[in-house]
Structure 1
Amino acid sequence: MQTSDLGVRALILEEGDVLRAYRCPAGKWTIGPGLTAASGVVVPKPGMVITKAESARLTKLALARNYEPAVTAALPGAKQHEFDAGISFHWNTGAIRKASWVPLWVKKAARPLIEAKFRQWNKGAGKVLPGLMKRRERELAILFDAKYPVSSEPKSKSVSVARWALPMTIVEKANVVASLHVLGYRGGTADQLPAYEVRRFQSDHGLTADGIIGRATLSTLQRRLDAAAKAKPAAAAATAAPAAAAGGSATDITDQIAGASWALPLLAGAAVLWCAWLTWQYRDVIAVKLNARAPKVAAWLRSL
């Protein structure tokens, strides 16, 4: 089977359609509706820009190669809307072959049983995510009721207010606004976030500065937050070794390790390697910090 036009539109609504390459939270170059080099249909690179037509072509190619055969095999005899729901689920999770709701659907089990298993796929990094909970409900509506989601954004909206390109809860939007505030991009609420502040964030990070909060902006924001969170233990590790070597106070564990003279070089070396790894892993974040003073260096870091 093939994904219907409604199914593709629903998928794009969930994933977004980013026409300029960006790094996902894991650091992989991504373009279109979440296409990475692993898709086998495109190799996103720094500065790559594609058209909507090309994104649509690549999406259909990725569906045909990587997703539609698996969903066809997993959901034999599926109606079009059931197949489209399976595609959205598999694109997001990659788990159509092992999800426990699938054999229940094949056996035509009661709807509540299938829904209960389907809703279990609501976690990211071990945490229940409100966005995934909402997505599973939208996919269930497609699966059982042939009810496809539509964009909730008003057709006309002030260009001075940022627009949300993906379905998000009010709590998720508030968290995004709070995170932008922490990074120095201030003003407004979830429904009245100034577009110029979003454009400033996008411009600082090499994104398309359109004031639209979509997948690329959210992924880049997450990388900034992850880098800040990981920098704290890295800084602590970097200072622990000199402190231990000098007989100063660190944590109890560090003091115990430092009691053995052979461990001091290992402790210092591990701290240096950890900091070096973080520097490489988040070189795009460092580029933002250097952009004003050393734009050429920043551009070079982004190109790596």
Structure 2
Amino acid sequence: MGGEYVCTLSPELVQRAKDEINEVPERRAADIEHIRDWLKHQPHINARMDDWTILRFLRGCKFSLERTKEKLDMFYTCKTLCPEWYKNRDPQDKKMRAILELGVAFPLPGFDHQGRRVMLTRPGVFDPSTTNMDELSKAMMMLVDVWMEEDEASIVTGVVMVEDFNDFSISHLTSLSPVTIKKMMTLFQDGYPMRPKGLNYINTPAAFDTVFNIFRSFMKEKMKKRVSNVFSALIGSKNAQECPERKERRPEKMYPSGGKTYKIIDHMRSQGHKYFVEV
């Protein structure tokens, strides 16, 4: 998308946008123009000013103009302060392509039982001896940026994150620093217009509590209430029906067994630098 906005939402999602995020189609263009004019007067923000980029932030902030300005400021501030995640983002680069093909993060098809998009991340699939956390974080940000650029429904429905800790080891744990975790949480909570609706952990190892407590220390209170260690405790037990996600979201059905190449990654390669010069 880009340039003048053309709505691709279904009638149901258009209504949902009205009900849940205060979107008024008749006022949409004026709100976008208001934010664009504000950006033009912010010399410290090197922002994209196309309709679609601005609309994503308006939706992520439920059309609060002041909150949208704050989030845009934070988003571009974080990008400036984290050049290791936002510079030289070439999906054709041999090392970056190898990381992307691991399937470290990707959206699941369809919606969950509450009509929300679901993003799966797998922090245990990379080799800490050959890939550092900055390289992994860069790949994850690239995947998220493409997803948000092309999936209009995700901002309206909100996003449920599922963190699969299968194969997560002590080596992975020691590669994570509190500084890196804080940067990640700040970006996703205060910078990206993702509207996180839930954070579910699955296949959690013995070291999970250590990781979780670090992440939790940087979570906002609203996010803390949306966290669940779901499948390790409930799937396969008599209480499985109480799980916030449906049974068909079990780990073995979440992604192709052994699959390492996903449509979104192939798409990124074909687009080259299209999304990564400035997103």
TM-score (norm 1): 0.27
Which one has more relative contact order, counting CA pairs under 8 Å at least 6 apart?
A: 2
